[in-house]
């Protein structure tokens, strides 16, 4: 039975992968509708032939990697349970220490290490793809350093969450999911507060914007929006990527405006001001706080569904999965697998909400700056630097795009430009 379940799981993953390969490379059509051809949203008007070809190639492969990566995690956790690795990790932990907390730490290091090794090849393929298409400028050593930073941050976070989670499971068999959610609220807010000043600097160097004239212009926009930021920060992303980005991060007194140095190097002041006005809208319309609230709401339903699904699966397949009880730490891979599945299933809705907020931010930015030419050319440069598809396939948009497509964004700006001329 165990071998049969393993074969079926691998076969299901292979069929799933073949479907998305066929969909992305042979079925989906990313060409522009006739009415948009020749407009400023048409990549043929601002990309050369080689850039057009590379954009299509890179996007297809990158999208395939996305659709393969998340279900691969499910397969990994399922096989870890099915072939007794989770049981073995617990046995090793118990034989290594008599203290419960240390046993949990040992179990987690084994599970985290195996998960790291299993997902590293796909991560490397993604990194190598970006290097091949000149998106990434990062050295292998720098990339590996960030992978290891991710590993230890994730491990440290799990060492906070997992002991509390399983303590709650033992204390309240029927309500652990609710108590876990209640504790997650202050933890989430605390991590959001720490993110810009503690976690982000582990990856890159942040420093005040060197261009003081541009900083003054940005802070003038920020002041109109009542953003409590005294400085604009620059981050040295050019050592890692040729892509462009800017954002407002943090909450409360830790809120900060951040520009990638690639953005500063490739865009004019007017283009940057449009992008910053877009980011400012997120702040003044409380999109950060709305996002936190929605995340907490989704996590409440997610934890409840996880509770129900875990109980059902262990009652029905506990013997095959080597899990005697939900509150046994051997069930942790099952917990991770279900959470990952629910996140993937909910991504179309969360992306839809995000695209709505991003559309509002685009409209706010163009109304604030009144410079459609700078806005349009900034999106065209974003497309070029990231080799982004202007009109991605439907499933890619639904599952991947937290922002409107470039076709939608540039077309909206062109409509504003036409209205402005009247």
Residues 413 and 409: their CA atoms lie apart, in Å, by 6
Give 231's pLDDT tier (boundaries 50, 70, 90). Answer: low
Q: Domain boundary at 284, 315, 339, which?
A: 284
Same domain for 228 and 189, yes or no, is no
Q: What is the largest CA-CA distance in the chain?
A: 78
Same domain for 267 and 150, yes or no, is no
Same domain for 8 and 52, yes or no, is yes
Strand partners, 249: 256
Same domain for 49 and 180, yes or no, is yes
Q: What is the CA radius of gyration of the chain?
A: 24
* Options 73, 215, 240, 279, the catalytic residue: 279
4-41 pLDDT, tens digit per residue, is 888 899 999 999 999 999 999 999 988 888 888 889 99
Least confident stretch, 48-62, 192-206, 219-233, 270-284: 219-233
Q: Domain boundary at 225, 255, 284, which?
A: 284
In sequence order, what are the residues at sequence separation of 6 or more whose Cβ sits closer than 8 angstroms to the Cβ of residue 46? Answer: 40, 380, 383, 384
For the chain, what is the domain count?
2
Same domain for 193 and 275, yes or no, is no
Nearest to 161 by CA among 146, 179, 148: 179
Same domain for 280 and 243, yes or no, is yes
Same domain for 117 and 161, yes or no, is yes
Q: What is the DSSP letter of 237?
A: G
pLDDT value for 228: 63
Q: Is 279 a catalytic residue?
A: yes
Same domain for 121 and 249, yes or no, is no
150-202 pLDDT, tens digit per residue, is 999 999 999 999 999 999 999 999 999 999 999 999 888 888 777 777 777 87
Could you give phi then psi for residue 385, rounded to 5 degrees? -70, -30
pLDDT value for 191: 80
Same domain for 105 and 231, yes or no, is no
Same domain for 297 and 182, yes or no, is yes
Residues 312 and 324: their CA atoms lie apart, in Å, by 13
Residues 259 and 84: their CA atoms lie apart, in Å, by 47
The residue segments making up the domain with residue 135 are 2-202+287-421
pLDDT value for 162: 95
Q: For 267-396, where are the E strands, in sequence order?
A: none
Same domain for 120 and 215, yes or no, is no
Please give the model's pTM, rounded to 2 decimal places.
Answer: 0.90
Same domain for 91 and 225, yes or no, is no
Q: Domain boundary at 258, 284, 310, which?
A: 284
Q: What CATH number corresponds to the domain at position 238? A: 3.30.2010.10
């Amino acid at each position: 039975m165990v071998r049969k379940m393993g074969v079926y799981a691998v076969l299901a993953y292979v069929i799933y992968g073949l479907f998305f390969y066929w969909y992305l490379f042979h079925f989906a059509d990313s060409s522009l509708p006739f009415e948009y051809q020749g407009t400023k949203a048409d990549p043929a008007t601002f990309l050369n032939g080689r850039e057009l070809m590379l954009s299509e190639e890179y996007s297809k492969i990158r999208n395939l990697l996305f659709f393969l990566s998340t279900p691969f995690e499910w397969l990994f956790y399922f096989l870890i349970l099915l072939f007794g690795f989770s049981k073995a990790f617990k046995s090793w932990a118990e034989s290594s220490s008599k203290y419960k907390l240390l046993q949990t730490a040992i179990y987690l290091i084994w599970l985290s290490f195996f998960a790291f090794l299993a997902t590293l090849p796909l991560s490397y393929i993604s990194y190598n793809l970006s290097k091949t298409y000149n998106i990434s400028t990062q050295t292998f050593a720098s990339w590996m350093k960030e992978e290891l930073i991710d590993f230890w941050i994730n491990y440290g976070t799990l060492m906070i969450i997992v002991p509390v989670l399983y303590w709650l499971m033992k204390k309240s068999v029927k309500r652990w999911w609710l108590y876990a959610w209640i504790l997650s609220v202050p933890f989430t807010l605390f991590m959001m507060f720490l993110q810009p000043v503690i976690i982000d600097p582990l990856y890159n160097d942040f420093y005040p914007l060197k261009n003081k004239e541009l900083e003054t212009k940005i802070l003038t926009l920020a002041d109109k929006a009542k953003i409590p930021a005294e400085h604009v920060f620059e981050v040295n992303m050019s050592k890692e990527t040729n892509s462009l980005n800017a954002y407002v991060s943090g909450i409360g007194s830790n809120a900060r405006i951040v520009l990638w140095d690639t953005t500063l190097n490739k865009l004019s002041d007017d283009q940057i001001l449009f992008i910053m006005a877009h980011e400012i809208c997120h702040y003044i319309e409380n999109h950060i706080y709305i996002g936190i609230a929605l995340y907490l709401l989704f996590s409440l339903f997610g934890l409840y569904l996880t509770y129900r699904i875990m109980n059902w699966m262990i009652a029905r397949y506990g013997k095959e999965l080597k899990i005697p009880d939900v509150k046994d730490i051997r069930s942790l891979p099952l917990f991770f697998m279900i959470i990952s599945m629910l996140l993937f299933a909910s991504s179309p809705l969360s992306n839809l909400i995000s695209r709505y907020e991003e559309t509002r931010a685009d409209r706010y930015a163009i109304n604030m700056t009144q410079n459609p030419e700078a806005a349009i050319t900034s999106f065209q440069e974003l497309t070029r630097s990231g080799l982004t598809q202007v009109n991605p396939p439907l499933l890619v948009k639904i599952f991947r795009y937290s922002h409107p497509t470039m076709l939608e964004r540039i077309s909206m700006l062109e409509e504003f430009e036409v209205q402005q001329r009247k």
